[in-house]
Chain A
């Protein structure tokens, strides 16, 4: 595909349920990022992958959040035992990587998670 895709676009979960959010990055992009965007706020960094390696997970808010990218392409963000404060838009972005850094990020449309 031409851009980053995410699924589902909308997810409603009851408190305590587990959810899985999928991200398909642009083909060939080594770097993949997950962000959480609360209403009226800018994206907040959650975690970063370089190929299949999760190099930075400092932004994950709790051990209920888990991300993986097993084959270095598609990534899944899993949230266990969802809480109301998890309600947000979850954005995925991918970018080229060269010379020790990532470049401009290309974002997917996001998954809006509502926990009731």
Chain B
């Protein structure tokens, strides 16, 4: 079975500080992993994806994530938070044997000026 756990439903950081949003996955086969961002009243926008190539993945808006198989993790980071980063972030896993995506429960990021 596949699942995603996002530790911390709410994260607050100061503007300019490091952003770290945690995601751990459970998958019996090599997964594809994704981070999406959702702004209020909008759909989900893809930030970045891991598809078994480089383990360090760079995405849009300065975000990146590192796939660590030994830790079954895919944490999202950004060196310096901007006010515009305040949003809901979702980690998702997909396996190559099917077409279902499994989403975490989300982490709400607040950026304090």
Contact = CB atoms under 8 A, between A and B. Distances in A.
B46 interface: yes
Q: For the side of the interface on A, what is the size category?
A: 20 to 34
Interface stretch (B11-19, B37-45, B67-75, B76-84): B37-45
B63 interface: no
Nearest to B6: A42
B90 A42 contact: yes
A97 B98 CA distance: 11
A109 interface: yes
Interface string A32-48: 01010000111111001
A104 B42 contact: no
A107 B43 CA distance: 6
Contact of B34 (A104, A109, A112): A104
Contact of B106 (A41, A55, A103): A41
Contacts, number: 61
Nearest to A59: B100
A56 interface: yes
A110 B88 CA distance: 15
A96 to B, nearest CB: 12
Nearest to A55: B99
B104 A42 contact: yes
With a 10 A CB-CB cut-off, give which of A43, A55, A103, A108 has the most chain B CB atoms: A43
A43 B42 contact: no
Interface string A76-116: 00000000000000010100000011111111111010000
Interface in A48-73: 48, 50, 55-56
Nearest to B100: A45
A110 B102 CA distance: 18
Contacts of A19: none
Contacts of B44: 43, 91, 93, 105, 107
A55 B99 CA distance: 9
Contacts of A55: 99
Of A102, A104, A109, most buried by chain B (CB within 10 Å of CB) is A104
9 contacts: A33-B99, A40-B105, A42-B104, A42-B106, A48-B100, A55-B99, A105-B44, A109-B42, A112-B41
